[in-house]
Amino acid sequence: MNKFEYIMNRIAHRHGVYSVFSDFLDLLIYAFSHGNKEKEYLGIITKYEKPDAYSLSEALAALVIEMTGDDGNGMIDVLGEYFQSHLSHGANGQFFTPVHVCDLMAQMTNPNGISERIFDPACGSGRMLMSAAKVNRFAKFYGADIDTNCAKMTTINLFLNNLTGEVACMNTLSNEFFQAWTIEPTINGVPRIREITKHESYIYANSKLKIKNSAPVIPQIEMPVQNFKTEPTQQLLFTF
């Protein structure tokens, strides 16, 4: 058990794991909003007694250290691993793609690192975007997920790895929009998280355009029925 997991579980014994994890994500997003969400931040942190409030700050420190890694390159999905182990348990089909598979896919789809924009329409905790950042961290990263906690995890993962872009909590099939955040640089070079409306969202605007200009329905063509020879499954293993 790593330190982040230990601290979160210690607080969860008193407040419940789902409540603590959800509050932790909100607190980080509000804290990294450069004072624009102070009222919302205080509304959450005042629910916790001093020892637990201090433990939440310890959890942030542990998170940053662990997601940085021994090599200092970052891109380690600590939040996603905790979420899968303690909250989702595979509910709603939430099994995140293994990191090494994400790395392989990123290298195959963008081998030269020249893509300027990377989009994952079902981003989970953002590990596919972080794998893409290992190829080109100067691209703009866009992620969307229907699960609120997933969208928030991706936002925090991008921010703490100093990546810029946008994350939306939305249904990318129906284009139903709930929330979105941009991770953007400021004049002094320190990034910030800013909550945006759907009218400011690059993801929503482009998804809406794609739905509006969807491909025409292609009429079905009846094909003649063919009789295929069936063979035992074991035999097929030797015919390839």
With a cut of 70, say whether residue 212 has pLDDT above it.
Answer: no
| Predicted pLDDT of residue 37 | 94
Q: 91 pLDDT exceeds 60?
A: no
Percent of the chain with pLDDT over 90: 71
pLDDT above 60 (res 114) = yes
Quick check: 239 pLDDT over 50?
A: no
Give pTM, 2 decimals. 0.85
pLDDT reported for residue 224: 57
| ∠ CA 32-34-39, rounded to 5° | 90
pLDDT(217) > 60:
no
Side-chain-side CA neighbours of 144 within 13 Å: the count stands at 21
Question: Per DSSP, what are the bridge partners of residue 192?
Answer: 184
Per-residue pLDDT tens for 25-64?
A: 999 999 999 888 999 999 999 999 999 999 999 999 999 9
pLDDT at 190 over 90: no
Q: Residue 105's closest CA among 131, 141, 139, 77?
A: 131
- Mean model confidence pLDDT for the chain: 87
What's the pLDDT score for residue 200?
96
For residue 173, the model assigns a pLDDT of 92
